[in-house]
Amino acid sequence: MSVTYLGMPPFPQAAAASTRDERLRGNLRHATRTIRDKRAGAVAELADWAALRTAGAQIKDRTLRHLDHYLEQLEASVSAAGGTVHWAADAREANQIVTRLVRETGEREVVKVKSMATQEIGLNEALRRAGISAYETDLAELIVQLGDDHPSHILVPAIHRNRREIREIFREQMGRWGRPAPEGLSDRPAALAEAARLHLREKFLNAKVGISGANFMVAESGTLVVVESEGNGRMCLTLPETLISVVGIEKVVPTWQDLEVFLQLLPRSSTAERMNPYTSTWTGTTDGDGPRDFHLVLLDNGRTDTLADQVGRQTLRCIRCSACLNVCPVYERAGGHAYGSPYPGPIGAILTPQLDSMETGLDASLPYASSLCGACYEVCPVAIDIPEVLVHLRERVVQGGTATVRGQRTTVKPARGHAAERAAMRAASWAFDHPRALRTGERMAARARRLVPRRLPGPGRAWTDTRDVPQVPPESFRDWWRRTRGSPDSAPARDSATGSGSSGQREGTR
């Protein structure tokens, strides 16, 4: 599958290290708060934002229900416009297709416009093994590549780097990849951008092959769409003689009218702009204009398995805006690298395990990389209920169950290390089914409340390493109600003025 980075530890271990990096936390805190404040202002300008959000979710859901139809329509449209469509079931097949297409051109260098799908499948590494050099042209991706690093944010992959770090990367590494950085390079943003422009312009003018992703694909016309802020994408899409686009199958939308909704949702949610500075569209090939050969590689890589999950399939609505990352308290403190995947943050915590079929320790840990505060759902422009999917995946981790893996219905075994949790849940289920036993347990807990430790031993230690055990109240709610109302089964009296239940004291219920 190649969704997660090789050798990455489970999220708790990686986060334990990253949260101790004060400089990283400072960079993330400043960047995410700036982005989310600007986004809030941009969204507030639209009185119909809620309606747009609902429309985006409904369009995505309708498309996913009939995905087979729209993908076949897309293939026919691209082919009619002069392009060639390739189908890739997984990362290995996609890498083989792209490598073969590049080799057939006789070239040994390619330029790339930012594509999370190619990061997902490890395309750069596959090309390198084939003797082909891939050069990232998005500024942040260039910083990550020159620094031999991994992206840590969907929108701003180098968000974990500050200006001084970027200057040093440019000064030390640019010469190894092409045109070196200017002498005396400062850390002013304009100077860094100019150094990147000069370095990349050389690549653009010499490249014969370009590789791209796409934000959207329009089924009715076979048009692909990339939105970006720098113009590097347009250079990659128009100058090379051969263009290869690797795109996840969920990126299709039925019509141009549907696309219009997402071209309003995406820029405001991602860069807090009313429109993206560059919205590039291309449809097949045209004599004398743009690439002579266009290839579209449609990537599955676990997406149809995700589609088969009635709860998890809403993850495929994602338009990669990164709004959920910028409001997530866990991401802000842990950083993107702790998620061990090209997809960090809340969306990565539900997307990566599903694409990867929950097959690694990292996959099993990611659904727990959340406080379930719900902020991610509130800002999602296509209304993905990320907390709901997180809880759903946690259930699969602990209980196992039936799931679709590589197109086959399979019984998934529970992940290791959750035996105590399963036992605790079974005990709780039994207690709730036996009211007398529950009442006895509550009274015993209240009488022994002073003996409850602040830290739990054994398996409970993982929970109390980061929080205190809640204080046990002196009496249960049931006993408090009996004492103050006289019957544990009577309904609360309605207040005639407010329509609410009687206020009373609630000291014993906290």
pLDDT at 146 over 70: yes
- 505: pLDDT confidence band, cut at 50, 70 and 90? very low
pTM of model > 0.85 = yes
What tokens does 505 get?
Answer: 């004291």
Q: pLDDT digit string (tens) for 95-105?
A: 999 999 999 99
Tell me which range, 6-15, 246-255, 478-487, is most confidently predicted by mean pLDDT.
246-255
Model pLDDT for residues 195-210, shown as the tens digit of each residue:
999 999 999 999 999 9
Window from 100-114, 222-236, 237-251, 470-484 with minimum mean pLDDT: 470-484
Angle (CA) 194-210-252 rounded to 5° is 110
Give 140's pLDDT tier (boundaries 50, 70, 90). Answer: very high
Structure tokens at 7: 């050798």
Angstrom distance (rounded) from CA 342 to CA 457: 36
pLDDT score, position 245 = 98
**What does the pLDDT read at residue 414?**
85
The pLDDT of residue 421 is above 80: no
pLDDT per position as a tens digit, 3-39: 888 778 999 999 999 999 988 888 889 889 999 999 9
Query: pLDDT category, 487, cuts 50, 70, 90?
Result: low
Give the whole-angstrom CA distance, residue 353 versus residue 195.
38
- The bridge status of strand 401-405 relative to strand 408-412 is antiparallel
CA atoms within 13 A on the CB side of 137: 29
Q: What is residue 454's predicted lDDT score, i.e. its pLDDT?
A: 81
Cα 23 to its chain centre, rounded Å, is 23
409: which DSSP letter? E
Give the residue with greater pLDDT, 77 vs 276. 77
Total residues belonging to the chain: 510
> Could you tell me the pLDDT band of residue 397, with boundaries at 50, 70 and 90?
very high
pLDDT in tens, 65-91: 999 999 999 999 999 999 999 999 999
Q: What is the pLDDT of residues 308-318, one digit of tens each?
A: 999 999 999 99
State the Cα–Cα distance between residues 103 and 154, nearest whole angstrom: 30
Confidence tier at 485 by pLDDT (50, 70, 90): confident
* pLDDT higher at 472 or 185: 185
Residue 463 predicted with pLDDT over 60? yes
**What Rg value do the Cα atoms of the chain yield, rounded?**
26
pLDDT > 90? residue 173 = yes
Identify the pLDDT of residue 489: 55
Which of 77-91, 101-115, 410-424 is predicted with the least confidence, judged by mean pLDDT? 410-424
How many whole angstroms separate alpha carbon 205 and alpha carbon 99? Answer: 22
As a whole number, the mean pLDDT across the chain is 90
Name the helix (H) or strand (E) containing 146: helix 139-146
Distance between CA atoms of residues 122 and 143, nearest Å: 18
Residue 375 has a pLDDT of 97
Q: Which residues of 341-370 are buried (b: 16+ CB within 10 A; e: fewer)?
A: bbbbbbbbbbbbbbbbbbebbbbbbbbbbb
pLDDT band at 211 (very low <50, low <70, confident <90, very high): very high
Q: How confident is the model at residue 490 (pLDDT cuts 50, 70, 90)?
A: low
Residue 60 clears pLDDT 50, i.e. is over it: yes
- The mean per-residue pLDDT over the stretch 383-388 comes to 98
426: which residues sit within 8 A by CB, 6+ positions away?
Answer: none
**pLDDT tens-digit series, residues 318-352:** 999 999 999 999 999 999 999 999 999 999 999 99
pLDDT score, position 479? 85
* pLDDT, position 209: 97
* Residue 488: per-residue pLDDT: 53
